[in-house]
Amino acid sequence: MPFEYLSNTPLDEAVSQYRNELRSQGLTYQVETIETRNALGRMSARAVYAKICAPHYNACAMDGIALISEKTYGATETTPVRLTEEDFTWVDTGDPLPKGCDSVIMIEDLVEDQGSHWIYSPAVPWQNIRQIGEDISAGDMIIPSFTRITPACMGAMLAAGVLRVEVIKKPLVAIIPTGEEIVPPTEDPGEGDVIEFNSTIFAGMLTEWGCNPKIYPIVSDNRGQIQKALQSASQECDAVILIAGSSAGRDDYSAQVIRETGQIVLHGIAIKPGKPAILAYINEPLKNRCVPVIGMPGYPVSGIIVMEMVFKPIIQLLTCQPSEKKPVMDAAVSRRINSSLKNREFIRTRIGWVNGKTVAVPLNRGAGVVSSFVKADGLMDIPQNSEGVEAGGSVKVRLLEEMEIIMKSLVITGSHDPLLDEAADILRREFPEAKVSSSHVGSMGCITALQRGEAHMGGIHLLDEETGTYNIPYLKKYFPKGNVVLIECVQRTQGIMTAKGNPKNIKGFDDIIGKEYVNRQKGSGTRILCDYLIKQNNLDMGKISGYQREEFTHTAVAAAIAAGTADAGLGILSAAKIYDLDFIPIADESYDLLVGQKEFELDIVKKFIEVLKSREFAERLNAMGGYKLNQPGRIIDWT
């Protein structure tokens, strides 16, 4: 397979080059006529004109009587006018105005007295009449071209006799997953199987953009088969996404196949992730049009970025949907971000609004970490030719979440415990608008975040080596002004997790010598506990194999042990239980919540603390195991 050098075209240039080339090849939208009642959310293909007037006749707008207004002239409170049955016609709302009448008097304004009807004020011509065309006159333009059809648009069109409407046809977009290691979604994949979920993500995005996605069966790494799939998709569909496997070699393979069938406009964009995207098209002479073909990198995060940044502007040529631009704002980045000069980088990030400051907490940058897109409130945009940003520096962020929701979110930054997710879920079930945005940066990370005013609260479990007590000694050191509130949360059991049946026969912490250990990141409470235990047991750090291997959560440590790539790791019982590991208890520790003093007054913080006191919280933690609840939610007097 020939090695192909990728171009490093800047993003904006790549998109405009691709769009222009496709346009010059005649790429454009198609039109179809559908029933108006089925047109919700569709885009009008041309201006829509009223066929009839609405109302289409002069209609009485009130229940009452219709008459010629002249008959009422001169009526006043003191000189009422008497009407006889010959003078008027009884009408209901919606009735056609009877011939010869020019006004309607409400029934309430008519006084009946011994068979006569009296009125006390004159009628004005055309009062209480919905004149023909009051709403819409025949021939009026109801909506212009390229307008999203709303419920009211549908109503106005039907009122005006427009029963069918020309709309932009939804483009049919093919999604072809390739790769011999790729398997359809399953609960029980074999080792080396890669679950194919990119097509589902892309189909979802396309649906949101007004397309009809069509997912093709997985094609193995066979050039002929990929070729065949690409040809039939380009004949059948209006655009094609060819998802390469995750290997670099595979991308070249896609490029080769695409080149044999169509034209490559560009291969390689100066963005990260997403660099190896292939921007191409195939001319379909039989259909007399060109079909955009995009070769997608296989990693899901790269794929999502290329979909959003590159493919969406192309799809808009076919859907005529306006480009809703995601708002961009400035935020202070919570830690140093390194970036390469070569690429423009998009980094998924949590966004918090704390104390009037917008803070961006970068998420895992791995191209395979699709969950980061679930957590992300925004995409940090680090320009090409920038080496990155220092902690506290300002970055541009594209919002993926409504700023209104971000401004109301609770920002929790600190030590990880699954109980935070449980509490957040309980809160949300009671107040569906409450969003909790939590980042796992360890207990010391919590202290830093609160010192810098970048979080509302966070979990800490910090063992003081000298006193053997938790948390308070650290607060005295780091918050001498006393401007944080410590909230009791739980006592939890730390211990050594090891494979089911404890095959290495680990009985205490000193047994980790000679075994494969998996550690937690620096600054985490569990790491501090680990170092404390090493000292207490007089162990030689250098002799602990795997001391350098760092994971960020209890469950990640448990997963490594469950997978057999480590023999032991320190963590909490609830994590061990999820992975069905053996657990050797080592220490009980205080896992508490630290809250900024001002933040303590926030409504959402108060609600969160109420959750800690709730029965449901106790029940959920009981089911998870390894927690003791004394007085969760209590303010601990520490100053």
Residue 179 or 458: the one with the smaller Cβ distance to its own copies is 179
| Closest approach of its own copies to the CB of residue 251, in Å | 11
- If DSSP codes are grouped into helix, strand and coil, which group holds residue 98? coil
Q: What is the Cα–Cα distance from 574 to 555, expressed in whole angstroms?
A: 9
Q: Which tokens go with 321?
A: 């949907």
Q: What is the Cα–Cα distance from 607 to 387, expressed in whole angstroms?
A: 41
592: left (phi over 0), alpha (psi -120 to 50) or beta: beta
| Closest approach of its own copies to the CB of residue 328, in Å | 12
Residue 59 or 242: the one with the smaller Cβ distance to its own copies is 59
- Taking alpha carbons only, the member of 395, 325, 387, 406 closest to residue 362 is 395
- Chain-centroid distance of CA 7 in Å reads 31
Residue 40 or 391: the one with the smaller Cβ distance to its own copies is 40
Q: Which tokens go with 223?
A: 């050039």
Q: Which tokens go with 628?
A: 């003791």
Q: What is the Cα–Cα distance from 294 to 260, expressed in whole angstroms?
A: 14
Residue 16 or 639: the one with the smaller Cβ distance to its own copies is 16
| Closest approach of its own copies to the CB of residue 75, in Å | 17
Residue 26 or 41: the one with the smaller Cβ distance to its own copies is 41
Residue 320 or 462: the one with the smaller Cβ distance to its own copies is 320
* HSE-up (13 A, CA, CB side) for residue 77: 0
Residue 93 or 469: the one with the smaller Cβ distance to its own copies is 93
| Closest approach of its own copies to the CB of residue 401, in Å | 10
* HSE-up (13 A, CA, CB side) for residue 458: 27
Q: Which tokens go with 602?
A: 């926030």
| Closest approach of its own copies to the CB of residue 507, in Å | 26
Q: What is the Cα–Cα distance from 1 to 250, expressed in whole angstroms?
A: 9
Q: What is the Cα–Cα distance from 292 to 311, expressed in whole angstroms?
A: 9
Residue 15 or 560: the one with the smaller Cβ distance to its own copies is 560
| Closest approach of its own copies to the CB of residue 117, in Å | 18
Residue 282 or 520: the one with the smaller Cβ distance to its own copies is 520
| Closest approach of its own copies to the CB of residue 449, in Å | 21
| Closest approach of its own copies to the CB of residue 284, in Å | 25
Q: Please list the alpha-helical segments (H only) found in 488-542.
A: 525-536
Question: Are 40 and 289 within 8 A, CB to CB?
Answer: no
Instruction: Tell me the pairing of strands 289-296 and 278-284.
Output: antiparallel
| Closest approach of its own copies to the CB of residue 113, in Å | 19
| Closest approach of its own copies to the CB of residue 235, in Å | 25
Q: What is the Cα–Cα distance from 592 to 471, expressed in whole angstroms?
A: 8
| Closest approach of its own copies to the CB of residue 389, in Å | 24
Q: Which residues pair with 590 in a beta bridge?
A: 491
**Side chain identity, residue 173:** V
Q: What is the Cα–Cα distance from 591 to 321, expressed in whole angstroms?
A: 50
| Closest approach of its own copies to the CB of residue 528, in Å | 22
Residue 95 or 610: the one with the smaller Cβ distance to its own copies is 95
Residue 150 or 469: the one with the smaller Cβ distance to its own copies is 150
Q: End-to-end distance of the chain based on CA atoms, in angstroms?
A: 69
| Closest approach of its own copies to the CB of residue 498, in Å | 16
What CA–CA distances, in Å, run from 231 to 162, 199, 460, 592? 40, 18, 57, 60
What CA–CA distances, in Å, run from 222 to 30, 201, 225, 484? 34, 24, 5, 62
Residue 234 or 349: the one with the smaller Cβ distance to its own copies is 349
Q: What is the Cα–Cα distance from 441 to 450, expressed in whole angstroms?
A: 12
Q: Please list the alpha-helical segments (H only) found in 345-435.
A: 371-375, 403-408, 418-430
Rg of the chain taking only CA atoms, in angstroms:
34
| Closest approach of its own copies to the CB of residue 484, in Å | 26
Residue 396 or 634: the one with the smaller Cβ distance to its own copies is 396
Question: Are 349 and 359 within 8 A, CB to CB?
Answer: no
Q: Which tokens go with 362?
A: 């970068």
Residue 221 or 284: the one with the smaller Cβ distance to its own copies is 221
Q: At what angle do helices 11-24 and 312-319 cross, to 10 degrees?
A: 30
